[in-house]
Chain A
């Protein structure tokens, strides 16, 4: 488990802590979405999660490895992959294949193992055909898949994504989210996704809302989005389908669950129209 226990962190010269007394867990196979307005501490959380930053108070442990211990940081970073918002900032090599191999090479793995891991990562993410392409020639969505492949090749237990879909067009975003869902549900990787886009929270097991460095709400998507006015006051907005479902429910429609993706909501409405549920 990736655990944040009572974590407080401040940047030098900042007027207030970026995170205050944050306690949060991410289990393997769990999908957690973190949302909050700019400056709420989301990015800081991800950087603490893989040991790029170390808490001033409290602790971050990754399967019992404490990120305050410098000697375990290489193992922490192998277990916890981090994908940033701008894929261009993460490409280091001349070809996709070399870029994905970069991490395993730095682990000192034998060449055959590196080759095997690179192949597996490229195939899992559906980008094997791009292996010889220069990363800078790829689309935004393709670049993020390469970044993910580079992390997968390290065989992580957890993947943290800091607004990694923000710059992607909707189709690419759906593809990347679909892949994350697959990695989480089928490969048992714990995924923590930081996003501004409320629709992305609908696939989460747990949604965590940050405001001024503090967790002010946490729960399932349905629980977290149940009171839209609270979210709007704190610079957030619920998914459009949740607002629609809430409006239909206020008219008396018995919707068993309101935090649904568009196609799911359509299915529920169709069944209701047929007298079901």
Chain B
């Protein structure tokens, strides 16, 4: 499913005042891509996620799903949800509510009106995809560890079999193992089903290993779009937009500030190592020339 945002703006009403969260957003999300949306706190990322998912109606502009407008001029929703877009909010485990894990994951498919056999099948498949074994199906979600709860919440979204998966800060608060598991789940979901994944995160290092394209939001506007390499190449500007580039990019940035000319598009450990070693080897007085 392709999603198009055209001239989208969104304002919240707070105590009688307009608070602009998004301003004139034009965005195409292509079927099957992994897109990362990043920006500092308050830049509009979560609002954008909810507009894309059809949960918030733009104050101005329009959202199109596969070319069809989502909202009528009078603000009525024109397209049914039907589980097409799965959105996991930040800390989705805060939304767990059922008595057992299986019941929680079944909630979404049940609300799609699916027959019981199909619901059961989807619950088992979804929990398997997130690496949870059958022993915990009957457990209370609240008895699980934080990482397990996160995976149950994700399973609840995967059980909807959405065309588009939107994850808001999917790895926030997880330990290294939990982050790896969630990254693996996302990667597999995309690889096996070829579906669209949108990652909302201020952790650029983490989403860059998954994303094919990144968008940078600043004060509600898209200020930069490109591949992760292209985005990190603008490291200095990322700081102006309130973002903290990944640690390795910051090493390169700091060296460039001192007078080096390193390629900021290098962002993996291997690439940065090579970039720095090549630079050091070219420095006349550096001992590494003789190694």
Q: Which residues of A contact B (CB under 8 A)?
A: 36-39, 85, 139-141, 163, 166-172, 174, 196, 198-199, 232, 235-237, 239-241, 243-244, 247-248, 251-254, 261-263, 265-267, 269-270, 272-275
Contacts and interface: CB of A to CB of B under 8 A. Distances in A.
B248 A240 contact: yes
Contacts of B272: 244
27 contacts: A38-B146, A38-B174, A39-B145, A85-B173, A139-B41, A163-B173, A167-B173, A171-B40, A171-B242, A171-B243, A172-B41, A232-B176, A236-B176, A240-B269, A243-B269, A244-B276, A247-B273, A251-B288, A254-B287, A262-B248, A266-B258, A270-B260, A272-B288, A273-B260, A274-B286, A275-B285, A275-B287
A261 B178 CA distance: 24
A248 B248 CA distance: 13
A253 B289 CA distance: 10
A248 B173 contact: no
Interface stretch (B64-72, B128-136, B249-257): B249-257
A274 B250 contact: no
A170 B202 contact: yes
Contacts of A139: 41-42
Interface residues of B, number: 45
A37 B177 contact: yes
Contact of B255 (A172, A269, A275): A269
B283 interface: yes
Contacts of A273: 260, 279-280, 283, 285-286
A263 B127 CA distance: 42
B99 interface: no
A254 B203 CA distance: 31
Interface in B239-280: 242-244, 246-248, 250-255, 258, 260, 269, 272-273, 276-277, 279-280
B32 interface: no
A50 B105 CA distance: 37
B247 A199 contact: yes
Interface in B176-194: 176-178
Nearest to B148: A38
B230 to A, nearest CB: 20
Contacts, number: 125
Nearest to B252: A266
A134 B184 CA distance: 40
The CB with the most chain B CB atoms within 10 A, among A140, A174, A262, is that of: A262
Contacts of B280: 253, 269, 272-273
A169 B291 contact: no
B172 interface: yes
A140 B287 contact: no
Nearest to A163: B173
A262 to B, nearest CB: 4
B83 interface: no
B125 interface: no
B236 interface: no
Given A39-B145, A251-B288, A254-B287, A240 B276 contact: no
Contacts of A251: 277, 288, 291
Interface in B42-89: 42
Contacts of B176: 37, 196, 198, 232, 235-237
B291 A262 contact: no
Contacts of A267: 254
A118 B104 CA distance: 44
Given A37-B177, A253-B287, 7 more contacts: A39-B145, A239-B247, A244-B273, A253-B280, A263-B251, A273-B260, A275-B286
A263 B285 CA distance: 21
Most buried by B among A198, A235, A266: A266
Contacts of A269: 251, 255, 276, 280
Contacts of A172: 41
A172 B242 CA distance: 10
Interface string B25-40: 0000000000000001
Nearest to B147: A38
